A = this chain, B = another copy of it.
Amino acid sequence: MIKSLGAKTLIYPAPVLVVGTYDKAGKPNVMTASWGGICCSQPPCVAVSLRKVTYSHASILEREAFTISIPSEKHVKEVDYFGLVSGRTMDKFAATKLTPVKSKLVDAPYVKEFPLVLECKLVHVAELGLHTQFVGEVIDAKADESIIGDGGAIDIKRLQPMLFTPDTQDYYGVGKYVGKVFSAGKGV
């Protein structure tokens, strides 16, 4: 039996992204965001949407750059904290004792302790309503060697990224292997 839930953005799963920026004074800041994802393969682009009131919003427009770090679930406390307070009044790196690293490729910092980071140059801005969507071209992706599997690719079970559930607002981990893309459907 199908039930109408109203006009809600119920995409499952949403990712848990940590957006890194420098403010006007050069202070590194981070915020957590789940409204985002991959949006183009060539050039490689990712999208993240932020509300205009966030401190990071102005920083992205000013520096035309941001990073997206993918944290693992062992940092859930720090990641959630990054979404609870504003960089306008708090130094989130100092409060969590995590380490900002200056990207050599774009004008933005990333979190040293997080295992995967995308360094992005702003290429497109869309004013959609409450949120502004920022599209960044990925200039480089960097990963800690500990999350790279035997074949040289990222192993999601080592990365242990979190999922965000839009309706209940929880964090979940990654579960079991289900199948191979462009292969599981060959028998249909």
Which A residues fall within an 8 A CB radius of B?
1-15, 17, 34-47, 49, 51, 68, 70, 73, 76-84, 95-96, 116, 118, 123-124, 126, 128-131, 133, 135, 137-145, 148-149, 151, 153-156, 159, 161-188
Chain A to chain B contacts (Cβ below 8 Å), 21 pairs: A2-B143, A2-B144, A3-B145, A5-B154, A6-B141, A7-B138, A7-B139, A9-B41, A12-B154, A15-B37, A37-B47, A39-B47, A39-B49, A77-B184, A77-B187, A80-B183, A153-B167, A154-B167, A156-B165, A171-B179, A172-B175
**How far is B144's CA from A98's CA once the two chains are assembled, in angstroms?**
42
CB closest chain-B residue, reference A73? B178
Supposing A95-B188, A124-B126 touch, asked if A138 and B4 sit within 8 A by C-beta, the answer is no
Which chain B positions have C-beta within 8 A of A9?
38, 40-41, 44-46, 118, 138, 141
